[in-house]
Structure 1
Amino acid sequence: MSTVKLSVVVCVYNEAENIKPQIERIAQALEAYEYEMVFVDDGSKDNTLKELYSVEHPRLRVVELKKNYGQSLALMAGIDYAQGEYIATMDGDLQNDPSDLPRMLKIAEEEGFDMVAGNRANRKDGMVLRKIPSRIANYIIRSLTDVHLKDYGCALKVLKADLAKDLGLYGELHRFVPVLAHLEGARITQVDVKHHARQFGTSKYGLSRTFKVISDLLLMLFFKKYMQKPMHLFGNAGIFLFIGGMLINFYLLVVKLMGYDIWGRPILILGMMMLFGGIQFITIGIVVEIQMRTYFESQRKKPYKVRRVQGFEGL
């Protein structure tokens, strides 16, 4: 069993001026706990690494990535190297407040939540560059994933270590940690946390982030609804197209038998495209279904997760 209660994972990219104040605030907030700080440098081009290595703190661990991989993979690296029973995540720009962590950890422990997410109730960043894209993204995610949180973009979270290490943060999926946790069957709650204006450095977010969220959301919807039953997605679409194409072609056959010329009609092209498209979708569904079964069976994975088994276990 790990003797570390809480690992604080902080991903940084060009945040040199924020390093020492961040470490001091975390240490002050968690002085009553067995904790560690895991700072992941995601290929910074300024003096971030120099600042990290200049700090002599017994609870500081620095994970230096070879290049800039993006926030998701940097977060995955930090989680992989974390040793705590619980893992906290936060940004390295001093906008999250470490003083919220003890309260979030207490809620996770005493109330049995697998993840406690922060909600920036009183945000202190720019209206155009941050708030509007964030509100758009929150609304889209909340509407389509059925995971009802007020603020998905707040990096301040406390998770059980086994949950955090099983999230699979590939690509740009750090935005969807609550959705990924929900897919793992996690019990999630959200609490209001403090938020501060950025003092040093420049923001890495903007309006373009909203479009990335939308593209990643399509992947999340597939994971949530069709990951273990892909035939329900591709098969239903294929059957719809196939039946539509058959009806159109049957209509054209009747028209042809009545003596009318059907060659060159746009509806003929549409009917054939729907017919062959339907066949392709059904075929893709069958292939992906076989792949999913192979994935689970070859690795002896179970398509379900058990939270607890209690009672008589035999003699």
Structure 2
Amino acid sequence: MNISVVIPLLNEKESLIELHDWIANVMQSNHFSYEILFIDDGSTDGSWETIQQLSQKNNAVKGIQFLRNFGKSQALHAGFDKAQGDVIITMDADLQDNPEEIPELYNMIVSNGYDMVSGWKKKRYDSVISKNIPSKLFNWAARKTSGVKLNDFNCGLKAYHQNVVKNIDVNGEMHRYIPVLAKNAGFSNIGEKVVQHQARKYGETKFGMERFINGFLDLITIWFISRFGRQPMHLFGTLGFIMLAIGFAFSIYLGIDKLFLTPHGRLITDKPQFYIALVTMIMGTQFFVAGFLGEIILRTKENRQRYLIKDNI
């Protein structure tokens, strides 16, 4: 199979038929063998019923229905797990991503040898204050932190070689950082393509300003995981060693001061250096314990299901 199109969605009933017909026309006109995977992330507006109708009409349509809303990352994870195409295309269900981009994205993976290609919505039709400016700041921070030189990390329209989606773990809210996850997994040939962005036709966005706050928090998380996720003791052990060294240094100073400099002076506990030594040594011990716990958890963790599927077709 040439292409799997993975579409996570939440309450997008109005756009599904139009989106399906558009994708199907593009696939048929380019003679692609394909499947369309709709991942219903707990919709309550009848989206699943529409997906079932589309599946009866077109055998290439498949679907997964979550028991409740688990988030876009979990929806993508489920879609990636089920996808069978040589190239996997992800896009949003709100008609803001243009299916006409699919053939060129496919060719960039197959002919140009990219591991993945990320869309860049260079010209956007979103609110400048609520989306454009925060998005530019977010993308700048992501580039600086991750080292992945993309202009638009959060674009839903992306193309992947099958090897990429089968070897990365998308969880939490890490869908924004799939290029970083791919790079950390060893897939370094990451490209970018300017894609057409369209104004939302139906409904309203499911994401507010809080997604940028969560995005920056996730950015810190993925930086930590990429640097120290496999050896947490390298970070916590270093911090613990520094704290203990400071504590021991102050302890030695207090001992020398008491024995040789002011033997009949005030008590050690009357000096502020005593409390600095005490606090830093306690903190150092706690950092070491955190590092040990991190190593133990890393070596004993089990794969847990992060979402519950209610139905699939």
Bucket of the pairwise TM-score, normalised by the shorter protein: 0.7 to 0.9
- Kindly report which structure 2 residues correspond to 1:41-80, keeping only aligned pairs within 5 A, or say none: 41-55=40-54, 56-80=57-81
- Kindly report which structure 2 residues correspond to 1:266-277, keeping only aligned pairs within 5 A, or say none: 266-277=272-283
- Residue 27 of structure 2 is matched in structure 1 by 30
Structure 2: gaps spanning 5 or more residues? 304-313
Alignment-mate amino acid for residue 226 of structure 1 = F
Decide whether aligned partners of structure 1 residues 275 and 146 sit closer, same or farther in structure 2, where only a CA change above 3 A counts.
same
Give yes or no for the alignment of 1:136 onto 2:137.
yes
- Kindly report which structure 2 residues correspond to 1:243-282, keeping only aligned pairs within 5 A, or say none: 243-257=245-259, 258=262, 259-282=265-288
Give yes or no for the alignment of 1:83 onto 2:92.
no
Work out whether residues 133 and 209 of structure 1, in 8 Å CA contact, stay in contact via their aligned partners in 2.
Answer: no
Mapped to 2, the partners of 1:205 and 1:292 lie a distance apart of: 32
- Residue 147 of structure 2 is matched in structure 1 by 146
1:204 shift after superposition:
1.4
1:249 shift after superposition:
2.4
- Residue 99 of structure 1 is matched in structure 2 by 100
1:266 shift after superposition:
4.4
Give percent identity, aligned residues only: 34
Deviations 1:148-197 (A, max 9, x none): 21110001111112210221111111111011001111121111111001
Q: Normalization by structure 2: what TM-score?
A: 0.88
Deviations 1:106-141 (A, max 9, x none): 011112111111111111111122212222221221
Give yes or no for the alignment of 1:8 onto 2:11.
no
Structure 1: gaps spanning 5 or more residues? 300-315
Work out whether residues 240 and 278 of structure 1, in 8 Å CA contact, stay in contact via their aligned partners in 2.
Answer: yes
1:104 shift after superposition:
0.9
1:80 shift after superposition:
1.3
Give yes or no for the alignment of 1:18 onto 2:15.
yes
The SS at the match of 1:280 is helix
Mapped to 2, the partners of 1:261 and 1:213 lie a distance apart of: 51
Mapped to 2, the partners of 1:197 and 1:67 lie a distance apart of: 28
1:66 shift after superposition:
1.4
| Count of equivalent residues | 294
Mapped to 2, the partners of 1:108 and 1:277 lie a distance apart of: 49
Deviations 1:91-113 (A, max 9, x none): 11111111111101101111211
Work out whether residues 87 and 109 of structure 2, in 8 Å CA contact, stay in contact via their aligned partners in 1.
Answer: no
Mapped to 2, the partners of 1:204 and 1:255 lie a distance apart of: 64
Q: Normalization by structure 1: what TM-score?
A: 0.87
Q: RMSD between aligned alpha carbons?
A: 2.0
- Residue 312 of structure 1 is matched in structure 2 by none
Give yes or no for the alignment of 1:215 onto 2:214.
no
Work out whether residues 15 and 92 of structure 1, in 8 Å CA contact, stay in contact via their aligned partners in 2.
Answer: yes
